[in-house]
Chains A and B, each alone.
Chain A
Amino acid sequence: MSIIEVEGLSKVFGKNTKQALKLLGEGKTKEEILKLTGSTVGVNRASFSVEEGEIFVIMGLSGSGKSTLVRLLNRLIDPTEGKVYIDGENLAAMNKKDLRRVRRTKMSMVFQNFALFPYLTVLDNAAYGLEIQGVDKAERHKKAKESLEMVGLGGYIEQVPSQLSGGMQQRVGLARALANDPEVMLMDEAFSALDPLIRKEMQDELLDLQETMKKTIIFITHDLDEALRIGDKIALMKDGSIVQVGTPEEILVNPANDYVKKFVQDVDRSKVLTAFNIMKRPETINIDKHGPRVALERMKEEGISSIYVTDGKRNLKGYVTADDASVAFKAEVKSLVNILKTDAPTVTKDTLMNAIFEISHNSPVPIPVVEDGKLLGIIVRGAVISALAGQSEVNRNYA
């Protein structure tokens, strides 16, 4: 079930919000509306849903409205129009008391510049969310300590934030968000203020934590690599509108329009495309039916020097080379069993391109893509290189 359901959510900053909304409905652009009404469209009729346990990335350049959008989700900014359902409750129409309850128990937030309280210790910072709920001191310190330990800061609880490095400060921010055990975590450019190495480390850590926590995370970023790396789903924003929502692969492989295409063209595709995207249908022969003669003929037809061998159920048995087949044929051997080679390295359909690149470099034969012992396809070295270069058509019928 979707934990968050956003319907037609809009935010207009300025005075003539009603008129601006009407103009939006007529399909006017952000600039036109600014000229006509003097109001700025922050978010334009965004609709999407987020599944439980998912990392949902909202990505866009600065000014695209992504930070406004995330603030509409916990109503740090009041929406002009639209609905935000969290666990079936419409946040946009809630009174203050209910809103506080939702903020205290269901969602927490991590900020770009950490937003730690400089006059509190790390422990009290992490306990802040519990403190304002009125949890007594011993209990909230216990929970805060647990969440600090989860992010690897168990030994720093008595420090004040200014004594910590940026990465450590953001861990405190993360621990603070985890301490009141929310269902949804909103992370607003949480790693953007960190240097690249620390950022990557934090991304890994977030993914590790997510393995055990299974929170629903809404992650805002302007960094496409980051989005592709951690996102289960990505929503791409431009001028306040959501341009495309999809898995990282969908965004890369099947961009909805030219804007998305342009956005993704510089991306390091090796980190996103998988074996599935570049494999092709294999030529095979059946070990039970065929002998060296058929193998040789097939290879000759296809102009290849080796061929994969399966059984009747497409289970991969190995491969034979043209040389071996021709020797066996001359020796009048009927079966392929004796010349079958099984030393080809295999990959699964989810293996990333950069891993395949390494393997294909050392493999004498095309790489078989295998799932549950069955041969799904093969990857020839040329396909790896052309996919990396972004030139080839890649498979769009993802599972």
Chain B
Amino acid sequence: MLNFMENIPELPLASLVSDFTDWISDTFVFLFDPLKNEFADGLESFADVLAAVPPPIVILIVAVLAFFISGKRFGLAAFSLIGLLLVWNQGLWEELMLSFTLVLVASILSIIIGVPIGILMSKSKTAEGIITPILDFMQTMPAFVYLIPAVAFFSIGMVPGIFASLIFATPPTVRFTNLGIRQVSKELVEASEAFGSTGSQKLFKVELPMAKPTIMAGINQTVMLSLSMVVIASMIGAPGLGREVLSSLQRADVGTGFVAGLGIVILAIIIDRFTQSFTGQKRARS
């Protein structure tokens, strides 16, 4: 009875995907090559510039910013000061800057891509119906899988790391942007329309300002997710704190692994509080 499965040949799904990936990397080579060369160079030099600034200056700036951002309280400022000093002390400063570059660039790209897609979703039921399952797919597929096509397209280094991180980290921004705009009170949208707003006036003067706290929450999630890709992306040669973690894993070096991991935690907490403070401020005002 159950033998019928034997009569159906195994579908060549894996080879189809492989072929498709090959096709993409061959066809868009004109796009990928400059990305993996010039873009990679740009990223490296950006990280170099960051690393070239004397660490005390960076640490001081971050601490002062933290003080003002957290509403003139000392908690976050003190944490930033001590945490960053510790990273510096452990000789991981350059790695920290590399990881930060990766997170920063990946997050900015995620936002640039994610917010417009979210707006599109909020405006069209069809778009929402198509994009939502794609987002589900992107988020539930194990992040390691993205590393494979990333290498195929961009070989190894920071660029494929950013690519994998983009796929993994963009969905929250898209979802929250969509949600934020859809949650804007109907009366406010009506008010905007009743006074003769055009579509873009409605979007920029009412919907986006109203959705801002929600969108910021999504962006915060995106930033955190791209940070979590720092370690995973190190498997395809992305430099930074993740690479330290990975190499100590390979050498079963608990101590070094812990220190590098701690560096990531410190970076994560600082970035999280910084991005959250933008959300919080807007909420308090509205």
**Which A residues fall within an 8 A CB radius of B?**
71, 74, 76, 99-105, 107-109, 111-113, 115, 117-119, 128-129, 131-133, 160, 162, 176, 180, 186
Contact = CB atoms under 8 A, between A and B. Distances in A.
Interface in B123-181: none
B90 interface: no
Interface string B164-201: 00000000000000000000010110111111111001
25 contacts: A76-B194, A100-B196, A100-B197, A100-B198, A101-B196, A104-B195, A107-B194, A109-B194, A109-B195, A111-B187, A111-B190, A111-B191, A113-B187, A115-B187, A115-B188, A115-B190, A117-B206, A119-B210, A128-B191, A128-B192, A131-B205, A132-B197, A132-B205, A160-B285, A162-B286
B261 interface: no
B216 to A, nearest CB: 13
Contacts of A76: 190, 193-194
B123 to A, nearest CB: 15
B237 interface: no
Given A103-B194, A119-B209, 6 more contacts: A71-B190, A101-B196, A105-B196, A117-B191, A119-B286, A180-B195
Contacts of B185: 113, 115
Contacts of B210: 117-119
**Those 5 A-B pairs whose CB atoms lie nearest each other, nearest first:** A104-B196, A103-B196, A115-B191, A109-B194, A115-B187
Contacts of A176: 195
Interface string B234-258: 0000000000000000000000000
A176 B192 CA distance: 11
Nearest to A133: B196
B285 A119 contact: yes
Would you call the interface of chain B mostly helix, strand, loop, or mixed?
Answer: helix
Contact of B194 (A108, A117, A160): A108
Contacts of A112: 187
Contacts of B201: 132
B194 to A, nearest CB: 4
A102 B193 CA distance: 12
Contacts of A113: 185, 187
Most buried by B among A102, A113, A115, A160: A115
B286 A103 contact: no
A117 B188 contact: yes
A117 B187 contact: no
Contacts of B282: 119
Interface of B: 185, 187-188, 190-198, 201, 205-206, 209-210, 282, 285-286
Nearest to A182: B195
Contacts of B190: 71, 76, 109, 111, 115
Contacts of B193: 76, 103
A36 B76 CA distance: 64
Contact of A108 (B195, B205, B206, B285): B195
A328 to B, nearest CB: 71
A103 B195 CA distance: 5
Contacts of B285: 119, 160
Contact of B286 (A111, A118, A129): A118
A132 B188 contact: no
Contact of A128 (B195, B198, B286): B195
Given A119-B285, A132-B205, A109 B196 contact: no
Nearest to A71: B190
B197 A109 contact: no
Contacts of B197: 100, 132
A132 B196 contact: yes
Listed residue (B190, B198, B210) with the most chain A CB atoms within 10 angstroms of its CB: B190
Contacts of B205: 117, 128, 131-132
A74 B285 CA distance: 32
B209 A117 contact: yes
Contact of A109 (B191, B198, B206): B191
A243 to B, nearest CB: 26
Contacts of A119: 209-210, 282, 285-286
A213 B232 CA distance: 68
Nearest to A101: B196
Contacts of B286: 118-119, 162
Nearest to B285: A119
Contacts of A111: 187, 190-191
A115 B185 CA distance: 8
A179 B194 CA distance: 14
A279 B266 CA distance: 88
Contacts of A133: 196
A125 to B, nearest CB: 10
A76 to B, nearest CB: 5
A379 B191 CA distance: 50
Nearest to B191: A115
Contacts of A107: 194
B187 A129 contact: no
A109 B201 CA distance: 18
Nearest to A103: B196
Contacts of A74: 194
A109 to B, nearest CB: 4
Nearest to A120: B209
Contacts of A180: 195
A107 B193 CA distance: 12
A132 B185 CA distance: 19
A117 B184 CA distance: 11
A72 to B, nearest CB: 12
- Among B196, B206, B209, B285, residue most surrounded by chain A Cβ atoms (within 10 Å): B196
